[in-house]
Amino acid sequence: MGALWARVHGIASRGTRGTSARRGADTVTAHPFTSHTVVHAGAARVTLAGELDLDAASYVREAVATCLVEGVAVIRLDLTGVSFCDCAGLNALFTARVAALRAGVDLFVEGVGPQLTRLLSLIGAEDAFLEADAPVVGEPPRQGRAMSTTAPLLGDLLA
């Protein structure tokens, strides 16, 4: 049986005021971002919650990179708790997808909400991730829409 480990990231607490370097103004994070990764028996689940934006995108990339270094065969990104995703968050998801493809690792994205679905539709990438119902060994599938990295790359969709 494989090792079990977990890592948790969190940035900004509810209602915390901070200065945004990209806007130069005070901002309030309504839904702070958290990232929780569990690896067990060659499979990883990365649960994301809150606002997936420029401030949080690096946590997604780091979580996926760590999973790839651990040598997992499957990564599941659970977006059920993601309340908002901007273009930086979307870029982080596509970057994670490309990294997984290059490493030969299956990447599934679950729990895609209406806001992210709309964002994918606006850029013509609603098919960038295909639905996938294959459960991870020892773990039942979560509720919500699941997507896989077996779809064409974004560049293929835009060509």
pLDDT attached to residue 137 = 41
Residue 127 confidence class, pLDDT cut points 50, 70, 90: confident
pLDDT attached to residue 153 = 42
Residue 17 confidence class, pLDDT cut points 50, 70, 90: very low
Please determine, for residue 16, whether its predicted confidence score (pLDDT) is greater than 80. no
Please determine, for residue 38, whether its predicted confidence score (pLDDT) is greater than 80. yes
Residues contacting residue 57 through CB under 8 Å, at least 6 positions apart = 88, 89, 91, 92
Give residue-wise pLDDT tens across range 72-92. 999 999 999 999 999 999 999
pTM: 0.68
Instruction: Say if CB 141 and CB 135 are below 8 A apart.
Output: yes
Give residue-wise pLDDT tens across range 105-125. 999 989 999 999 999 899 888
Residue 31 confidence class, pLDDT cut points 50, 70, 90: confident
Rounded CA Rg of the chain: 15
| Dihedral sign, Cα of residue 49, residue 54, residue 57, residue 59 | negative
